[in-house]
Amino acid sequence: MNVLFVCTGNTCRSPMAEGILRDLAEKNKLDINVKSAGISAFSGDMASWNSVEAMKEIGIDILKHKTTQINEDLLKEADLILTMSKSHKDFLTYNFPWAKEKVFTLMEYAYGREKDIMDPFGQSLAVYKKTRDEIYEAIQKLIVKSEELD
């Protein structure tokens, strides 16, 4: 399965989600390929320093992450597209209506409810950790849900 996480700049939330799912998939021996991109990303930038630090604290290294601008090829190769907010989902389904059936917010897919993952950009490390934990819990739920479908 190919999973794509999408946020705004691909510097905070989506790279954390990518790192978490990649780590959990590896630990659970799941056949999941994971990427991330941003709707307003400048390709080639690094993840935000607080994202790197928050992830390092749980043993996941995203230091080498490079930002990627969302594009049609990424959307086509993804089996599942998980956004960090409803506005990201709305942007994708409006601009790429053919992908509508595979686009969900992370919280919608994990818990069945629309709720945004807060954007920690420019805030304290404590806020990044809170966002990381929210993403981690949702991805754990996503993995349990996918195992139940097998």
Active site residues: 7, 13, 119
Per the CB < 8 A criterion, the answer to whether 23 and 32 are in contact is no
Q: What is the 3-state secondary structure (H, E, C) of 115-133?
A: CCCCCCCCCCHHHHHHHHH
b/e map of 29-43 (b: 16 or more CB within 10 Å)?
Answer: eeebebbbbbbebee
Handedness of CA 145, 146, 149, 150 (dihedral sign): negative
8 Å CB contact between 107 and 75: no
CA triplet 61, 67, 73: central angle to 5 degrees?
Answer: 115
